[in-house]
Amino acid sequence: MEFMDFQLYSLAAAIVFNKIFFPDVSPAIGLIAAMATYGVGYVARLAGAVYFGRMGDRLGRKKVLVITIVMMGVSTTLIGALPTYASIGILAPILLVALRLVQGFGAGAEIAGATVMLAEYAPAPRRGLVASLVSLGTNSGTLAASGLWAILLAVLSEDQLLSWGWRLPFLLSFLLLIFAVWLRRSLKESPVFEERPDVVDGVAMTRGELEDTAKQEPAGGLEVGLKQRKGKAFFVALGLRFGQAGNSGLVQTFLVGYIATNLDFERSVPTDAILYGSLLGFLTVPVVGILGDRFGRRPMYIALTLLTIVTAFPAMLLIAHGGAAAVMLGMIVALNVGVLGLFSLESVTMAELFGSRTRFTQLAVAKEIGGVLATAIGPVLAATLTAVTDSWWPIAGMLVVYSLITLVSAVLAPETRGRDLVRLEDAL
């Protein structure tokens, strides 16, 4: 649901929002403005990560997941009912940004909550595979959103798309919201949360209560969890997040608009590439999860980031100077290696890096800071650099930089495969 909502918005931002909400500027400036409205949601996501992350660590995972999905689903549906710039002028993009902020605030704990729940339910030997289901869920959302947009682009004329067709995906998402709320209300609480030594009657102890209890059990895990200084695991996790988040913003959002606007391809070409790449992702994600369980998280991170670095410039060369088939091949490779493959690893590794007392908060904040710095700012920066240089090479360069950050973080990270997730302290 989260990724369907965000992919619906990101594709709309790349394909039609510059014409619907920013029609009085040049196409290049309109694309930058549309990417900026896409990016503001990531600022709200960070605030949501802090607020709901603390709630999830204190009161449990299930309650947060119900609240956040309602916030996201309602705001996404209302975007489909917004009046356009032609109807109410500057108020239209203002309302768009307001709904985007609400959507982002709810989304701040969405992927973190789903990641924590799956990782904490999974048996240790298959945790990488089970936690990778988060990536399959996000991939399903991306696929559904891309499929809806592909159908609209195939069957509707330009006038139909701009007048009413763009609203349909947002309005139809309400049906998925109903199912998502029912599903989450049927969930049981995470077994790891219930087994935590600091949780009494379903509520985590405050720090003062925890310190009093630790004095009575000086050799227990409570004291270890209290004394450990936080920070190392967080910054490693942030670096691991950076490559996937940055690559995702470039491949799944910016390139769609860039290929249609700057390279003069039909808009269906990059949309179809995301669609086919997402289909291939249903194989990529579990295979990477299984390999992570077999060989460890660090070796797989190092292999995938190196592969992304090596293929970044060849893939962009294909996209910039090839035909439609080359464009699709380049996007499919970039999506599966630099985005979905890394996401499969990220889902389990970040959960294993953190202790159970602050896992939800640290994981959510690390993901969203990475999102703000990479996914939100990246498309705007890429739009600016490609406009200034009139070239594709800044896109490839950004893919390399993002992947290098993750490569360094993977080298510094401890191997977390099989770690006991009930432990209160971080892995380093």
pLDDT tens, residue by residue, 77-89: 998 999 988 888 8
Alpha helices in 186-231 (DSSP H): 191-195, 207-216, 221-227
Residue 30: pLDDT band with limits 50, 70, 90: low
Residue 154: CA atoms inside 13 Å, Cβ hemisphere, count? 10
**Could you tell me which of 330, 324, 301, 267 has the C-alpha nearest to residue 411?**
301
Average pLDDT, integer, range 246-260: 88
CA angle 244, 344, 275 (to 5 degrees): 75
Helix (H, G, I), strand (E, B) or coil at 265: coil
Helix (H, G, I), strand (E, B) or coil at 173: helix
Distance CA 263, CA 273 (A): 15
Tokens 């996209």 sit at which residue? Answer: 319
Tokens 């996401």 sit at which residue? Answer: 343
Average pLDDT, integer, range 104-127: 91
Average pLDDT, integer, range 47-62: 93
pLDDT at 280 exceeding the cut of 60: yes
Span 125-150, pLDDT tens digits: 999 999 998 888 887 887 788 788 88
pLDDT for the residue numbered 94: 83
Average pLDDT, integer, range 201-211: 80
| DSSP one-letter code for 297 | H
Measured CA distances, 367 to 53, 108, 119, 207 (Å): 11, 9, 16, 25
Enter the pTM of the model.
0.84
pLDDT, averaged across the chain: 87
Residue 304: pLDDT band with limits 50, 70, 90: very high
pLDDT at 35 exceeding the cut of 70: no
Span 315-347, pLDDT tens digits: 999 999 989 999 999 999 999 999 999 999 998
Span 64-78, pLDDT tens digits: 999 999 998 999 899
**Percentage of the chain with pLDDT > 90?**
49
Tokens 């606007």 sit at which residue? Answer: 261
Q: Report the CATH superfamily, name and number, of domain 2-412.
A: MFS general substrate transporter like domains (1.20.1250.20)
